[in-house]
Amino acid sequence: MKPLIALTSEAGTLSAKRGAFCQSAYSEAIARAGGLPVILPLTREPETLRQFLHRCDGLLLTGGADVSHKFYSPRMSARQRALIRDVDEVRDEMEIFLTRAALRRKIPVLGICRGIQVMNVALGGTLLPDVPRHSHPQPDVLLHKLRWASASKIRAAIGESPVNSSHHQALDQVAPKLRVIAWAEDGIIEAVEHTTAQFCWGVQFHPERLLKVAPQIRRLFTAFCTASSRRAVLRSRRQSHAV
């Protein structure tokens, strides 16, 4: 059974109209790994979000613009606030809600770039508002190696491939329920795993952009879709018993 994977959408404007979209690399990576990707609309309506989670088997928190300081450091200085750009608080609220609700429902969660940052904020962590030299203009270039913790599910899945870098925020204080399992050479946190959830992984790099240059990276999406498939089977059984 193919799992239904909910992808969060990015906020943007076109002809002065606000909208939502998702770069095709995310949905293509999920489809190639055996999942059925569905892009969620932007909304902060809790009941609507609950209905989406009721029907999905996995949650992918995609990349995008900065997370507002209001959700992790409301007393941040004006100088630091000036470094944060292109925030969309509807998206922030939506993804924080989805992350917490998905974990309560034991739905697998994968966070990519902004996604690992949202995951950390949702669970009580904070962010560095600006990280110099980590936003490279070429998204599919293998720029740096990672320093791994000795025991890591993500490392076991994808090996020790170099990764790309396309972000200017990063994790600062790590949420209590997250364990850091990889760092960049300059100490920036690059990957985390939840300490108790069956599947809740976050990576700071963009694996969906590396599938051609580093094919082993696709095993990250395979592991995510496999965990989501188990959730799909359980959901199907519950629905059958309810009929």
DSSP state, 110?
A: E
User: Among this protein's residues, is 113 annotated catalytic?
Assistant: yes
Q: Among residues 22, 56, 113, 225, which one is catalytic? A: 113
Q: Among residues 10, 194, 208, 225, which one is catalytic? A: 208
The angle formed by the CA atoms of residues 139, 201 and 43, to the nearest 5 degrees, is 80
Burial class for 75, CB neighbours closer than 10 Å (0-12, 13-18, 19+)? exposed
Q: Nearest 5°: phi and psi at 163?
A: -130, 170
What does the alpha-carbon distance between residue 124 and residue 89 come to, in Å, rounded to a whole number? Answer: 17
What does the alpha-carbon distance between residue 198 and residue 106 come to, in Å, rounded to a whole number? Answer: 7
User: Among this protein's residues, is 89 annotated catalytic?
Assistant: no
Describe the crossing of helices 89-104 and 46-55 by its angle, rounded to 10 degrees: 50
Q: Among residues 69, 167, 194, 206, which one is catalytic? A: 206
User: Among this protein's residues, is 206 annotated catalytic?
Assistant: yes
What does the alpha-carbon distance between residue 206 and residue 212 come to, in Å, rounded to a whole number? Answer: 13
Q: Nearest 5°: phi and psi at 218?
A: -65, -20
* Intra-chain end-to-end CA distance of the chain, in Å: 19
Contact 119, 67 (CB under 8 A): no
What does the alpha-carbon distance between residue 115 and residue 9 come to, in Å, rounded to a whole number? Answer: 11
Would you name the residues annotated as active-site residues?
113, 206, 208
